[in-house]
């Protein structure tokens, strides 16, 4: 007993020394591969996996000591997944505190209404905070990776400003945009006007993409929708330039010529009746809503006034007069 009583203070001193040493270690700046340095802890990561991801990113942290510190604080299961940014001078204690409180950093990307999928791809490929998994893949391969059906992603992605964990994949972002579009479309389809000339929500989406490209001023959007819905009901050619331009693809040089309007493609609404086979751009919610609830109007024509707005006409004679006035300088 006398021996144990003499040993006990020594043990306490050793434990105190160890605790002091661990605290000193945890308070020292960590070596970083670069500063600032971004890393990501994937959802569902264990403490061991999170530490491995930190080290792989370039944070020279001792896995045994960090794990012991987290367990000592009873926080080994409380680390938050997400993207983090650390800078020179950060200590192990500060790093652990940041991850326990979920002080994540996020990337931001705005995908614009009226853009095509090609434009979206270019914007994503240029974003430094995204992990690029789709580069070099065909549309068919991208669709397969996303678990979708169909032949085109045109119109299938909802335009919005997206926040995302840095170094998350462009595939994850596209999947979010696709889910958002399906939700918006289903919501608007459920409250659509009666008697519309669409058999499916996807046909309405095609119309919405045309409305998106043809609308110059917000106040005209529902009237633009009414013109195309009226023409579709009557079996008239839609005769909309943006579909022709989309069908020309890379051949379009910025000038739409008469020969282009006469060149038959699946997207030429001057030569083919009805809707084109797919959307021609990514429509926003306002255009989806307009396609499904157009204005009450008998207009069949419209022409740009030159100030962003349009003049709407019910007859061809009235339309020709408007064209003469607003585009040919007639009186």
**162 pLDDT higher than 50:** yes
Domain contains 320: yes
The answer, yes or no, to whether residue 319 has pLDDT greater than 90, is yes
Number of structural domains in the chain:
3
Tell me what pLDDT residue 2 has: 53
Q: Is the pLDDT of residue 14 over 80?
A: no
Instruction: Please name which of 201, 210, 202 lies closest in space to residue 229, comparing C-alpha atoms.
Output: 210
Mean pLDDT over 261-285 rounds to 96
Which of 78, 100, 122 is the last residue in one of the domains?
100
Residue 275 within any structural domain of the chain: yes
Q: Is residue 12 part of a domain?
A: no
Task: Note the pLDDT of residue 313.
Answer: 94
Between 15 and 164, residue with greater pLDDT: 164
Q: Say if residue 9 is exposed, middle or buried (CB neighbours under 10 Å; 0-12, 13-18, 19+).
A: exposed
End-of-domain residue from the set 100, 121, 138: 100
Cα–Cα distance list, 281 to 171, 243, 264 (Å): 19, 10, 20
Q: What is the pLDDT of residue 86?
A: 87
317 and 208 within one domain: yes
Residues 219 and 305 both lie in one domain: yes
Residues 62 and 125 in one domain: no
Q: Are residues 215 and 284 in the same domain?
A: yes
pLDDT tens per residue across span 190-230: 999 999 999 999 999 999 999 999 998 999 999 999 999 99
Residue 9 lies in a domain: no
- Structural domain that includes position 297: 193-326
Pick from 186, 210, 231: which residue ends a domain?
186
Task: Kindly state whether residues 208 and 262 are assigned to the same domain.
Answer: yes
Q: Provide the pLDDT for residue 106.
A: 84
Residues 77 and 148 in one domain: no
């Amino acid at each position: 007993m006398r021996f144990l009583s003499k040993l006990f203070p020594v043990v306490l001193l050793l434990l105190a020394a160890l605790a002091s040493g661990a605290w000193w270690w945890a308070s020292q700046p960590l070596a970083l591969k670069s500063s600032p340095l971004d890393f990501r802890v994937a959802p569902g990561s264990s403490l061991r996996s999170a530490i491995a991801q930190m080290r792989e990113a370039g944070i020279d942290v001792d896995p045994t000591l960090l794990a012991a510190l987290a367990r000592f604080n009873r926080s080994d299961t409380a680390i938050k997944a997400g993207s983090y940014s650390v800078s020179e001078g950060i200590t192990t204690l500060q790093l652990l505190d940041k991850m326990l409180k979920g002080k994540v950093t996020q990337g931001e990307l705005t995908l614009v209404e009226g853009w095509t999928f090609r434009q979206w791809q270019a914007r994503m490929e240029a974003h430094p905070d995204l992990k690029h998994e789709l580069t070099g893949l065909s549309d068919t391969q991208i669709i397969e990776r996303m678990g979708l059906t169909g032949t085109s992603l045109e119109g299938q992605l909802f335009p919005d400003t997206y926040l995302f964990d840095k170094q998350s994949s462009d595939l994850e972002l596209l999947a979010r945009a696709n889910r958002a579009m399906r939700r918006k479309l289903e919501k608007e389809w459920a409250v659509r006007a009666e008697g519309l000339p669409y058999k499916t929500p996807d046909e309405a989406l095609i119309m919405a993409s045309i409305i998106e490209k043809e609308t110059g001023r917000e106040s005209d959007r529902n009237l633009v929708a009414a013109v195309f819905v009226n023409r579709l009901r009557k079996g008239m050619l839609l005769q909309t330039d943006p579909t022709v331009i989309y069908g020309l693809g890379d051949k379009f040089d910025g000038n739409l010529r008469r020969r282009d309007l006469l060149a038959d493609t699946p997207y030429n609404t001057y030569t083919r009746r009805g809707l084109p086979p797919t959307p021609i751009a990514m429509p926003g919610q306002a255009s989806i809503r307009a396609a499904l609830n157009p204005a009450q109007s008998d207009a069949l024509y419209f022409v740009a006034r030159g100030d962003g707005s349009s003049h709407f006409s019910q007859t061809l004679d009235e339309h020709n007069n408007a064209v003469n006035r607003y585009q040919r300088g007639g009186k």
